[in-house]
Structure 1
Amino acid sequence: MKPEIHPVYPPSRVTCACGNIVETKSTRGSFSVEICSNCHPFFTGKYKLVDTAGRIDRFRKKYAANPAKEAAPAAGEAAAAPAAGAKKGKKGEAKA
């Protein structure tokens, strides 16, 4: 191996938002993370509901100003539809 081509690999400290600290080695140095294996729902088996109410409120606020428009069928479309009591044959054709 060639000398002096490998990066420096010093000990580092990874700090989670929950307070967990992991001692490891890294070329990046010490840093912090938002979630780790001690607080992640997959590893703990606990489900955390994260800001669902906030998302619902944002959705309602966004679409409150724009009420849904009801689509009324045009007069020509209603006349072209087959009678309600007609039986359908092959390929959806109405039989008389």
Structure 2
Amino acid sequence: MKPDIHPEYSEVAFKDNSADKTFIIRTTLKPRETIVIDGKTYPLLNLDVSSASHPFYTGKQKVADIGGRIDKFRKRYAS
């Protein structure tokens, strides 16, 4: 690799505010805030949603059938 053309790749803490979970992942992002985890200081990026709080990954996803639309579709296209 050529020197001085790639961004710095370092560990950053990502905090999911809705689930209060923190992940330490390597990235090229440069956040301004910091957080101390286990006595070590990491740059901090706050997230609204991550795999810890997204309904698809937590198994809390709901399917809403409003007005029987799925049944109407199945009746119309049943073969």
Q: TM-score range by the shorter chain?
A: 0.5 to 0.7
Unaligned runs of 5+ in 2: 31-43, 63-79
Write out the 4+ residue segments of structure 1 that deviate beyond 4 Å after TM superposition: none
The root-mean-square deviation of aligned C-alpha atoms, in Å, is 1.5
Aligned length: 48
**Rg larger for:** 1
More helix as a share of residues = 1
Residue 58 of structure 2 is matched in structure 1 by 44
Matched residues, percent identical? 33
Question: TM-score when scaled to structure 1?
Answer: 0.45
Q: Distance in 2 between matches of 1:15 and 1:4?
A: 30
Higher relative contact order (CA 8 A, sep 6+): 2
1:47 Cα offset (Å): 3.6
Question: TM-score when scaled to structure 2?
Answer: 0.54
Unaligned runs of 5+ in 1: 49-96
